[in-house]
């Protein structure tokens, strides 16, 4: 076995002993690994992991007048691994509760009363001024942003003024900042306006398209958005999809002629939203975590969008999940913020890539349970809104490790491609990664068998034997292994990646790097609730 005790600093003799003694305790699985690029290989964007930020407290993330150093550090960690920062979509539910007041200093917010279920609710009313958008200057240099404006209120003047202030802010940034306004999103989840009072119960996609077109036509003049500008429109941003040509779906947009309108011709991306369900729907905490990270569940949740992805790509448009995360309503307590969420991020992100999803914008809000990053000091519990015994400073949550690992795998050389490996297991996922020259360079394995604090001391393990097939390069003979180590799936802290932690006061990595080296022919062991990255060598 290659376990955490067998580090690169140990002699090869001790490592071999670890391999032999531990392999006897593990269930064996043979994994066929193709050396060449297969038909289901897909290139992965350096910004595949990106973020959607709830607009109401947007300035808490970046800092209003002064940069939020913790948040900036957490994003810079990712940018340094891939060569470019994650992209940001700013908006969500609160974009449809926003009005504009020229000259207002940042924003005026009205919040509903917090509840045990939602300790940090979105603002019900948001009035913003120019400074609210200009705070984007505090983003990590080189960041690309999509910003949402209000459609639900049917206040064309407000949307026009918001978009103008967004454009003015980005025009004021220096060229050296590299900050780019990628797109404007008009309205959030218009398909559920009928449920939140935004439209009559009989509101249809046929009515939505001309409303969107009217708003987009006006917005395009103030941003501006033309065929020759880098800024475009996002289309969709629907909460769900019925995958039909008559409902709220990409197919419904296309069949109702949105791409034939003048602003519709300026759509370059179709966005859809998806969560894994409601956190109260799955029973106990342990069961909720196991449901969330289960291999079949992740694939079922994402595969439903295959027709939508195909329809989008048939029009040469980019397909993204513009808002996604684990359980909706800001996540499930001790589930969305559990260590198991890091495994979920890994499997979810790379399986999405194999389907042709260009980018995933994981939704974040101040105090949300499913956050990767908590950017400011919190005074009440994210679990039940009870006062904390002492303020909780900014910190990362377990899902952030998933983002770090994805970024490290993608790297900064460009052109990395991913394919899913066929693994005969309900709990073990595997992915192969090829370089931009077509060389097989990395493997990722994720053991989603939940090991919980209540599971006792007998931790199951799987032994993998790697069988390289095909041609194109010699079969690798050596490997370096790096592990995401997790005490229990229901822990909410204490994870390490290669022996190092990001659970630090400044969000920067700390600790001594721990790697394992061995012969490929020896295989490797993966305990339950762990992920391993295998770098291959001759």
52 within domain boundaries? no
303 within domain boundaries? yes
The pLDDT assigned to 280 comes to 61
Question: In angstroms, rounded to a whole number, what is the distance separating the alpha carbons of residues 139 and 408?
Answer: 21
The pLDDT assigned to 109 comes to 96
Q: Among the three residues 366, 393, 410, which one is the final residue of a domain in this structure?
A: 410
The CATH number of the domain holding residue 322 is: 3.20.20.80
Whether residue 165 sits in one domain with residue 291: yes
Whether residue 394 sits in one domain with residue 463: no
Question: In angstroms, rounded to a whole number, what is the distance separating the alpha carbons of residues 210 and 40?
Answer: 38
| Tokens representing residue 281 in the block | 């729907």
249 within domain boundaries? yes
Whether residue 229 sits in one domain with residue 169: yes
The CATH number of the domain holding residue 432 is: 2.60.40.1180
174 within domain boundaries? yes
Whether residue 246 sits in one domain with residue 348: yes
The pLDDT assigned to 284 comes to 83
Whether residue 423 sits in one domain with residue 406: no
Whether residue 254 sits in one domain with residue 295: yes
φ, ψ dihedrals at 304, nearest 5°: -60, -20
Whether residue 427 sits in one domain with residue 403: no
Reference 345, options 365, 331, 362; nearest CA is 362
In degrees, rounded to 5, the angle at the alpha carbon of residue 473 between the alpha carbons of residues 467 and 474 is 60
Give residue-wise pLDDT tens across range 247-295. Answer: 999 999 999 999 999 999 999 999 999 998 876 666 789 999 999 999 9
Give residue-wise pLDDT tens across range 423-466. Answer: 999 999 999 999 999 999 999 999 999 999 999 999 999 999 99
The pLDDT assigned to 26 comes to 66
| Tokens representing residue 387 in the block | 């006062």
190 within domain boundaries? yes
The pLDDT assigned to 277 comes to 81
3 within domain boundaries? no
Determine the structural domain holding residue 112 and report its residue range: 81-410
Asked if residues 277 and 327 have their Cβ atoms less than 8 Å apart, the reply is yes
Instruction: Provide the domain count of the chain.
Output: 2
The pLDDT assigned to 9 comes to 33
The pLDDT assigned to 27 comes to 82
Residue 74 host element (H or E): helix 69-82
Whether residue 484 sits in one domain with residue 336: no
67 within domain boundaries? no
Whether residue 440 sits in one domain with residue 486: yes
Asked if residues 451 and 459 have their Cβ atoms less than 8 Å apart, the reply is yes
Please, what's the b/e burial string for 57-78 (b: 16 or more CB within 10 A of its CB; e: otherwise)?
A: bbbbbbbbeeebebbbbbbbbb
CB atoms within 10 A of CB 474: 9
Question: In angstroms, rounded to a whole number, what is the distance separating the alpha carbons of residues 252 and 257?
Answer: 9
Q: Among the three residues 368, 384, 410, which one is the final residue of a domain in this structure?
A: 410
Whether residue 429 sits in one domain with residue 401: no
Helix (H, G, I), strand (E, B) or coil at 113: coil
The pLDDT assigned to 16 comes to 35
Whether residue 509 sits in one domain with residue 391: no
Q: Among the three residues 388, 410, 432, which one is the final residue of a domain in this structure?
A: 410
360 within domain boundaries? yes
Whether residue 342 sits in one domain with residue 252: yes
The pLDDT assigned to 325 comes to 97
Enumerate residue ranges in the chain where pLDDT < 50.
Answer: 1-24
């Amino acid at each position: 076995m290659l376990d955490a005790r067998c580090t690169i600093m140990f002699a090869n003799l001790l490592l071999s002993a670890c391999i032999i003694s531990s392999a006897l305790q593990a269930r064996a699985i043979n994994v066929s690994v193709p050396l060449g690029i297969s038909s289901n290989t897909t290139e992965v964007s350096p910004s595949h992991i990106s973020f959607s930020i709830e607009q109401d407290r947007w300035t808490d993330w970046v800092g209003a007048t002064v940069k939020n150093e913790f948040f900036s550090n957490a994003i810079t960690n990712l940018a340094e691994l891939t060569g470019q920062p994650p992209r940001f979509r700013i908006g969500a539910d609160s974009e449809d509760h926003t009005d504009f007041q020229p000259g207002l200093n940042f924003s005026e917010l009205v919040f509903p009363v917090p509840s045990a279920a939602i300790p940090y609710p979105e603002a019900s009313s948001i009035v913003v001024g120019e400074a609210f958008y200009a705070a984007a200057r505090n983003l990590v240099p080189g960041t690309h942003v999509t910003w949402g404006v209000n459609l639900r209120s049917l206040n064309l003047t407000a949307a026009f003024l918001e978009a103008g202030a967004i454009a003015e802010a980005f025009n004021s940034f220096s060229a050296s900042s590299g900050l780019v306004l990628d797109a404007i999103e008009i309205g959030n989840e218009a398909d559920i306006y009928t449920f939140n009072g935004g439209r009559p119960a009989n509101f249809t996609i046929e009515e939505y398209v001309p409303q969107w077109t009217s708003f987009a036509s006006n917005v395009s003049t103030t941003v501006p958005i033309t065929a020759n500008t880098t800024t475009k429109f996002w289309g969709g941003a629907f909460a769900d999809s019925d995958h039909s040509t008559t409902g709220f779906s990409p197919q419904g947009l296309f069949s109702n002629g949105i791409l034939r309108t003048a602003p519709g011709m300026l759509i370059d991306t179709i966005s859809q939203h998806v969560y894994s369900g409601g956190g109260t729907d799955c029973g106990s905490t342990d069961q909720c975590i196991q449901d969330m990270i289960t291999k079949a569940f992740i694939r079922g949740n994402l595969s439903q969008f295959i027709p939508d992805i195909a329809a989008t790509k048939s029009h040469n448009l980019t397909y993204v999940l513009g808002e996604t995360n684990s359980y909706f309503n800001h996540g499930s307590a001790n589930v969305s913020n559990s260590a198991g969420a890091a495994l979920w991020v890994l499997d979810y992100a790379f399986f999405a890539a194999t389907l042709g999803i260009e980018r995933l914008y994981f939704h974040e809000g101040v105090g949300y349970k499913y956050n990767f990053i908590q950017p400011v000091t919190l005074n009440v519990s994210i679990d039940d809104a009870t006062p904390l015994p002492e303020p909780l400073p900014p910190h990362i949550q377990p899902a952030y490790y998933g983002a770090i690992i994805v970024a490290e795998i993608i790297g900064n050389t460009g052109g990395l491609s991913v394919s899913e490996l066929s693994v005969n297991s309900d709990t073990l996922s595997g992915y192969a990664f090829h370089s931009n020259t077509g060389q097989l360079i990395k493997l990722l394995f994720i053991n989603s068998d939940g090991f919980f604090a209540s599971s006792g001391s007998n931790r199951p393990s799987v032994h993998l034997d790697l069988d390289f097939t095909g041609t194109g390069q010699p079969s690798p003979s050596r490997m370096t292994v790096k592990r995401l180590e997790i005490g229990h799936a229901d822990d909410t802290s204490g994870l390490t990646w290669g022996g190092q932690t990001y659970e630090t006061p400044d969000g920067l990595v700390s600790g001594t790097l721990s790697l394992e080296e061995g012969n490929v022919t020896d295989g490797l062991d993966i305990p339950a609730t762990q992920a391993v990255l295998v770098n291959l060598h001759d």
